[in-house]
Each structure stands twice: as C-alpha cells, then as structure tokens.
Amino acid sequence: MVVGKVLSFRLGLNRRYPKELLVKLGERESDVAKLVGKEVVVEDSHGNKYVGKVLKPHGKSGVAVVRFRKDLPGHVIGLDVKVLD
C-alpha cells in the first residue's frame, strides 16, 4: 500500500478546484504514472473518509492530481493519503 501526503488544492489563475488535490505519492513522475486510475482514501480526525481517484502526474517530482467525489474541507491539507490496490 502506497502512502502519500496532501500538499494543497489544485489551483487555477482565478479559482480553486475544491474536488481536486495535489498529493505527493512518490519521488519521480514514473512512480505516479503506475498509480493512475487507482482509488485513494483520506481520513480526517473526525472519522470522515473521502474517496477519490488518481488522475495524472503533476510535474516531475512525484506529485499527482487526485479527484474526489465531493468537495473537500480545508483541514485535509497535510493529512496522510492511502492508495488502495
């Protein structure tokens, strides 16, 4: 099981994408490319579970774009992420 860390929301020039997060999942782009399409779970301190899917690599440093089913609260930034097999 791969474990990562939430870095931030995906940002545009004029808006924030509340359903998409940037998540550090490896050291290189090739590490993330193997995980595209896998399910991801984030669990916060209140016991809420958020399920999403790895969309694509973001840059070359092992960061991925992950889209979730519903909008995420701001306190998920910095939490651990589990990639399901």
What are the structural domain ranges in the chain?
A: 2-83
C-alpha dihedral sign at 19, 20, 24, 29: positive
In 1-85, where do the E strands start and end?
2-11, 16-24, 39-43, 49-57, 63-68, 80-83
DSSP code, position 75? G
Homologous superfamily (CATH) of 2-83 is: translation elongation factor selb, chain A, domain 4 (2.40.10.190)
CA–CA distance, 13 with 76 (Å, rounded to integer): 22
CA–CA distance, 43 with 59 (Å, rounded to integer): 25
Residues 39-84 have pLDDT tens digits of 999 999 999 999 999 999 999 999 999 999 999 999 999 999 999 9
Name the pLDDT band for 85 (thresholds 50, 70, 90): confident
